[in-house]
Structure 1
Amino acid sequence: MSTHTLGELISLLFMAVALGMDAFSVSLGVGMQQIRLKRILIIGIIIGIFHMIMPFLGIIVGQAISNRIGDLTTMAGGLLLVGIGTQMLLSAFNHEQRKVMQIAGFGLFIFGLSVSIDSFSVGLSLGLSGVKTALALLMFGATSTVLTWAGMLLGRKVHGLLGIYSEILGGSILCGFGLHIIFG
């Protein structure tokens, strides 16, 4: 293995971890909702798939249009996370309705999209760099899946310690992360 190839692998690994950290942070908040292990498994896989699809779409679009679209996708992802976090916060204070957004069906699609939409803009730049696309996409997907699982399992443990306050903490994490994406 050449030094150039090893350097590219290490760079891709760091990029994959950086992209997966948002999945970890958001999953930490969502994991506080007392989600079953089977659902955690499915959510992690879906987020991993989205972390492969979105950069791939970014690569395709990046070759066709300018980089300005990256700012729009980042803004949309941030707004989606703020919306989900706000819903969690409001439901924590609404004692009649204890069910937060279902992370199943269309809700799972929206969740996966909101967590991985920032990887679209990474795909825009990857399309111009000549990186090994298949390797990058597999690393992004695998890393985000593992970090999602870790975040949700840790969130489950924290929920047991904090009880009802974990929903407030989880919603705050989602809102904070969404605001960080928008303004940071």
Structure 2
Amino acid sequence: MTPLSIAVLSLSMSTDAFAAAVGRGAAHRPGFATAVRNGLVFGIIEGITPLIGWAMGLIAAGFVEQVDHWIAFGLLGAVGAKMLWESFQPVDEEARPARAGRNAILALIATAVGTSIDAAAVGVGMAFIGANIWLIAACIGFTTFVLTTIGMLIGRAVGVRFGKVAEFLGGVALILIGLSILAEHMGWLGA
């Protein structure tokens, strides 16, 4: 993958976490230190899940070598379509969960895991195309950390609707990356 593709992929994988962070920021009104801590949790989890998906993909790669580009396209397309669909779901800016202490930490981790499942699917696709998963996972994790921290601070000021726009753009980007992988492996882009 090119550096531009990795950057776009990292941004795309981070947009659902960003959207969730905007919502959490709107609900909890965090300070800077809290936003950074939440960003670290999201970034670490989002960086680990592509590695898990990649490991699963390596196990299956030998069986699906002839159609790996179709699988990568399908996975990225499905995740992108899911993100597009979610970006059109209504937002409830009035919902402000009241959680404290251990429950707040569990809710944060559950949200981070929930938003990172798509990164595991992308990791599977990366195994099929032989991409440098360590670089990709690090970029996804770092980008998620930065965007989640910023998202929480933005959410404090503007609410959750802005996160939906980011999620929509991320979905479109993932579909385009999937199409580019398919086009490259099918020879549609020329030599």
Task: Give the TM interval when normalised to the shorter protein.
Answer: 0.5 to 0.7
Distance 1:143 1:46 in 2: 12
Q: Find 2:22's aligned residue among 28, 36, 39.
A: 28
Residue 23 to residue 99, structure 1, CA distance change in 2 (3 Å): closer
| Alignment of 1:38 onto 2:38 | no
Q: Which residue of 2 aligns with 1:51?
A: 46
The normalised TM-score by structure 2 is 0.63
Distance 1:101 1:20 in 2: 24
Amino acid at match of 2:144: S
Stretches of structure 1 that go unaligned for 5 or more consecutive residues are 1-6, 159-165
Distance 1:25 1:126 in 2: 24
Distance 1:15 1:101 in 2: 33
Distance 2:16 2:45 in 1: 13
Distance 2:48 2:139 in 1: 12
Distance 1:122 1:12 in 2: 12
Equivalent pairs, count:
151
Percentage identity across aligned positions? Answer: 23
Q: Which residue of 1 aligns with 2:58?
A: 63
Kindly state the Cα deviation for residue 121 of structure 1 after the two structures are TM-superposed: 0.8
Give the secondary-structure state (helix, strand or coil) at the position aligned to 2:104. Answer: coil
Kindly state the Cα deviation for residue 99 of structure 1 after the two structures are TM-superposed: 4.2
Q: Does the CA-based 8 Å contact 2:20-2:111 persist in structure 1?
A: no
The normalised TM-score by structure 1 is 0.65
RMSD: 3.7
Amino acid at match of 2:134: A
Kindly state the Cα deviation for residue 105 of structure 1 after the two structures are TM-superposed: 2.2
1:38-80, Cα deviation, whole Å (9 max, x unpaired): 2211110111111111100000111224769x69x96xx98xx
Residue 99 to residue 131, structure 1, CA distance change in 2 (3 Å): closer
